[in-house]
Amino acid sequence: MGRHGTIAGRKASQDSKRAAGFTKYSRAITVAAKGGGDPDYNFSLKHAIDKAKGINMPNDSITRAIKKGTGELAGEVYEEESFEGYGAGGVAVIVDILTDNKNRTTAAMKHAFDKYGGNLGVRGCVSYMFERKGIIVIEKTDAVKENSLMETALEAGMEDMINYEDSFEIQTSVEDFDNVAEALRKSGYELLESDIEYVPSVDITPENDYDIKNLKKMIDILEENDDVQKVYHNCTIDLNEE
């Protein structure tokens, strides 16, 4: 299924994130809350809270992270940054981070890229091969009817819907993402994933197993780093598969 992965692969990835803890999700909430502590009036905060709830973060932890962002509790100052480069096999990679120590994070990024046959580049070196889009994933079940799902999403502003083996992927503009996600929730659909992502406009398929192995290792190392929020790539191969 390529970079989109199967439902099983996505759930395995989510379980791995739960096991690693809630650090990166707390950071995202804290940073978003700087724009206001009420999610009804702060889309970024609402989005960060939804993601945290998706991995079953306790409400107390969410509230504490919000208070750190609004200044009600003392907390670290996080800086948003993106790193870009090429992984093994010429695969383009973008890494979104939140860090309280940019020098530490930069060193970790360079080490991961260098160790596994990649090359960390400058800002803009690969991002031109991606578009920012809202991505919503709905698992295929007997209760989910394709035509009804498409109609609901289209009325709310969907741009496209891709039919995969075990899921539907709904794509939106960044501006319409919240409207589409909310319309689907109100219609009773369970959103397996919902996020603003970098979607590749150019795909790369590594030519040998050695490159694929190194690419998978590099992305695993990056995703395990607490400073890393999300890793995007344009590899056509499902890197969640064993």
The last residue of one of the domains, among 52, 70, 88, is: 70
Q: Who's near 219: CB < 8 A, 6+ residues apart? A: 87, 93, 231, 233, 239
Give domain status of residue 235, yes or no: no
Q: Report whether pLDDT(56) > 90.
A: no
> Total structural domains in the chain?
3
20 and 64 inside one domain: yes
pLDDT at residue 44 greater than cutoff 90: no
Same-domain check for residues 137 and 108: no
Give a yes or no: residue 124 inside a domain.
Answer: no
Q: What is the pLDDT of residue 216?
A: 95
- Asked whether residue 234 is domain-assigned, the answer is no
Nearest to 146 by CA among 134, 177, 6, 154: 154
Region 14-29: mean pLDDT is 71
pLDDT tens, residue by residue, 110-130: 999 999 999 999 999 999 999
Residue 48 lies in a domain: yes
Please give the share of the chain, as a percent, with pLDDT higher than 90. Answer: 74
Mean pLDDT rounded to a whole number for the chain: 90
* Residue at 238 is within a domain: no
The whole-number average pLDDT for the span 12-19 is: 55
Binned at pLDDT 50, 70 and 90, residue 24 comes out as confident
Domain membership of residue 216 (yes or no) is: yes
Q: Which residues contact 138 (CB under 8 A, 6 or more apart)?
A: 144, 149, 167, 168, 170, 184, 189, 190, 191, 192
Amino acid at 33: A
- Are 176 and 220 within one domain? no
Lowest mean pLDDT among 70-74, 129-133, 195-199, 238-242: 238-242
CATH number at residue 108: 3.30.70.980
pLDDT number for residue 2: 42
Same domain, 83 and 184: no
Query: Does residue 27 lie in a domain region?
Result: yes
Domain extent for 12: 8-70
Shared domain for 194 and 209, answered yes or no, is no
pLDDT in tens, 178-219: 899 999 999 999 988 888 899 999 999 999 999 999 999 999
Residue 33's domain is classified under what CATH number?
A: 1.10.10.200
Residues 196, 209 within the same domain: no
For residues 80 and 100, give the distance between their C-alpha atoms in angstroms, rounded to a whole number. 9
**Whether 218 and 98 share a structural domain:** yes
Task: Identify whether 134 is part of a domain.
Answer: yes
Q: Judge if 97 and 147 occupy the same domain.
A: no
The token duo for 108 is 């970790």
How many helices, marked H, and strands, marked E, lie in the chain?
A: 8, 8
